[in-house]
């Protein structure tokens, strides 16, 4: 490994793989992240086996991509490193019934999200290295950036270091999927889990969705055309997010009008005020104390009826019907890359 940057002690630059021996890897799961990780790691020279349920829906795709596909138990038995890239809620049973009885002593167990370890749903066997590597993007982007010689930034963490080489193993995997090309930031299972959940709930998914819906409803209730409101509150959001992505808030200010800047600077705090921040702190507190995790685990165990009802209400919001009609005339969208699969974290 290259030395750490002494200015930023948790930042590693240009991490490289151990040149003497690349470990045998088992990728368990072949969804959005699973497929991207498996392909990138194979292209980086690793010996990759994919572990899937026989007859499952992703088995033909993995075989079509040229992988050796075995049952999860068989794949785990022969691996130096096992990457668990299935949805969060199926991982505890998978670990207890398949991984723990079959993983070799001293092997490395890798997760792409710390949820189950952090909240105690999985207690890894004591002899294992336990690490996390989490790309900051969906699987399709992880693959696409790797193919063009770049990489999606990633974070990594070590939960158990029984071999004395757990960090090295995490960074080797991170390099193999392309994450070390853009610097790999060291974190902890706690930090990755709690910040990831907060970002999804308060800003990226929950917050952004409700802000868009509320803005659209405000304009429509005031008598404006639903189609015009759609353009202003949802469609043009991509333009701003792209500017954020490219160069942060600074770049947004460089490209929007002075009128837009003045309106944003003087009215943004009216919408996101002290009460909003207090609610964000409440959301974070419920992530930190395990309230959200307990609710989600209980919801899943009960069959997801409430989850499905809430999701259906989102899908049936009137803005969706308006958007569907308008997007039918946006011919350029038919040539755009397909949207990432719903499960982007660990499908």
Q: What is the pLDDT of residues 122-135, one digit of tens each?
A: 999 999 999 999 99
Task: Choose between 4 and 330: higher pLDDT.
Answer: 330
In this predicted structure, the answer to whether residue 109 has a pLDDT above a threshold of 90 is yes
> Closest by alpha carbon to 112, among 52, 154, 69?
154
Check if the beta carbon of residue 346 is closer than 8 Å to that of residue 113.
Answer: yes
114-170 pLDDT tens trace: 999 999 999 999 999 999 999 999 999 999 999 999 999 999 999 999 999 999 999
- Are residues 159 and 308 located together in one domain of the fold? no
What's the average model confidence in pLDDT over 325-341? 73
Determine, yes or no, domain membership for 345. Answer: no
> Closest by alpha carbon to 1, among 184, 254, 251?
184
- Return the CATH number at 143: 3.40.50.720
Helix (H, G, I), strand (E, B) or coil at 188: coil
Check if the beta carbon of residue 150 is closer than 8 Å to that of residue 186.
Answer: no
Percent of the chain topping pLDDT 70: 90
pLDDT confidence band for 79 (50 / 70 / 90): very high
Check if the beta carbon of residue 177 is closer than 8 Å to that of residue 40.
Answer: yes
Taking the CA atoms of residue 169, residue 187, residue 88 and residue 123 in that order, the dihedral angle to the nearest 10 degrees is: 70
> Closest by alpha carbon to 95, among 113, 80, 82?
82
Q: Which of 113, 118, 159, 235 is catalytic?
A: 113
Query: Binding site for NADP(+): residue ranges?
Result: 30-33, 53, 58, 139
Active site residue 113: yes
pLDDT at 64: 97
Query: Binding site: residue ranges?
Result: 30-33, 53, 58, 139, 196, 200, 232, 236, 257
pLDDT at 19: 43
| Count of domains observed in the chain | 2
- Are residues 135 and 82 located together in one domain of the fold? yes
Compute φ and ψ for 47, nearest 5 degrees.
Answer: -90, 105
Compute φ and ψ for 344, nearest 5 degrees.
Answer: -95, -15
Check if the beta carbon of residue 160 is closer than 8 Å to that of residue 6.
Answer: no
- Are residues 61 and 162 located together in one domain of the fold? yes
In this predicted structure, the answer to whether residue 8 has a pLDDT above a threshold of 50 is no
Residue 71: both structure tokens together: 């049952």
Sequence-distant (6+) residues with CB within 8 A of 287 are 194, 197, 198, 201, 293
- Are residues 109 and 175 located together in one domain of the fold? yes
pLDDT confidence band for 20 (50 / 70 / 90): low
DSSP lists the bridge partners of residue 124 as none
Domain that holds residue 247: 204-272+304-333
* Confidence (pTM): 0.88
pLDDT at 267: 97
pLDDT confidence band for 180 (50 / 70 / 90): confident
What does the alpha-carbon distance between residue 313 and residue 214 come to, in Å, rounded to a whole number? Answer: 14
pLDDT at 5: 31
Check if the beta carbon of residue 51 is closer than 8 Å to that of residue 24.
Answer: no
> Closest by alpha carbon to 194, among 293, 274, 95, 121?
293
Q: Which among 188, 221, 238 is the end of a domain?
A: 188
What does the alpha-carbon distance between residue 20 and residue 346 come to, in Å, rounded to a whole number? Answer: 29
Determine, yes or no, domain membership for 289. Answer: no
DSSP lists the bridge partners of residue 109 as 82, 130
pLDDT at 2: 33
Determine, yes or no, domain membership for 284. Answer: no
What does the alpha-carbon distance between residue 59 and residue 55 come to, in Å, rounded to a whole number? Answer: 7
What does the alpha-carbon distance between residue 113 and residue 76 come to, in Å, rounded to a whole number? Answer: 19
Query: Binding site for substrate: residue ranges?
Result: 257
Determine, yes or no, domain membership for 2. Answer: no
Check if the beta carbon of residue 253 is closer than 8 Å to that of residue 261.
Answer: yes
Query: Binding site for Mg(2+): residue ranges?
Result: 196, 200, 232, 236
pLDDT at 330: 93
Q: Are strands 154-160 and 129-135 parallel, antiparallel or unpaired?
A: antiparallel
pLDDT at 334: 74
Percent of the chain topping pLDDT 90: 87
If you average pLDDT over every residue of the chain, what do you get?
Answer: 91
Determine, yes or no, domain membership for 4. Answer: no
25-44 pLDDT tens trace: 999 999 999 999 999 999 99
Q: Which among 188, 219, 240 is the end of a domain?
A: 188
Check if the beta carbon of residue 252 is closer than 8 Å to that of residue 243.
Answer: yes
Lowest mean pLDDT among 270-279, 292-301, 333-342: 333-342
């Amino acid at each position: 490994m290259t030395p750490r940057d002494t200015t930023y002690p948790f930042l590693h630059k240009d991490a490289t793989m151990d040149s003497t021996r690349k470990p045998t890897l088992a990728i368990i799961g072949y969804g959005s992240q699973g497929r991207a990780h498996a392909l990138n790691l194979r292209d980086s020279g690793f010996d990759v086996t994919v572990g899937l349920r026989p007859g499952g829906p992703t088995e033909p795709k993995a075989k079509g991509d040229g992988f050796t596909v075995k049952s999860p138990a068989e794949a785990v038995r022969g691996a130096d490193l096992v990457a668990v890239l299935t949805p969060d809620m199926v991982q505890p049973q998978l670990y207890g019934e398949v991984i723990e009885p079959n993983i070799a002593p001293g092997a490395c167990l890798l997760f792409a999200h710390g949820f189950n370890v952090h909240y105690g749903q999985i207690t890894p066997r004591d002899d294992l290295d336990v690490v996390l590597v989490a790309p900051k993007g969906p699987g399709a982007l992880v693959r696409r950036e790797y193919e063009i010689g770049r990489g999606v930034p990633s974070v990594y963490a070590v939960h158990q270091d029984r071999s004395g080489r757990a960090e090295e193993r995490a960074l080797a995997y991170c390099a193999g999927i392309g994450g070390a090309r853009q610097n790999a930031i060291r974190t902890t299972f706690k930090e990755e889990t709690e910040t990831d959940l907060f970002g999804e709930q308060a800003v990226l998914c929950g917050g952004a969705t409700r802000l868009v819906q509320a803005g659209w409803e405000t304009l429509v209730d005031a008598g404006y055309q639903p189609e015009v409101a759609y353009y202003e509150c949802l469609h043009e959001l991509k333009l701003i997010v792209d500017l954020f992505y490219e160069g942060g808030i600074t770049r947004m200010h460089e490209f929007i009008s002075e009128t837009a800047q003045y309106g944003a600077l003087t009215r943004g705090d009216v919408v996101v005020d002290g009460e909003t921040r207090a609610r964000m702190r409440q959301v974070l507190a419920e992530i930190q104390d395990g309230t959200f995790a307990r609710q989600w685990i209980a919801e899943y165990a009960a069959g997801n009826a409430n989850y499905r009802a809430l999701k259906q209400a989102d899908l049936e919001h009137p803005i969706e019907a308006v958007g569907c009609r308008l997007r039918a005339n946006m011919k350029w969208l038919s040539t755009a890359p397909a949207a990432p699969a719903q499960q982007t974290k660990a499908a």
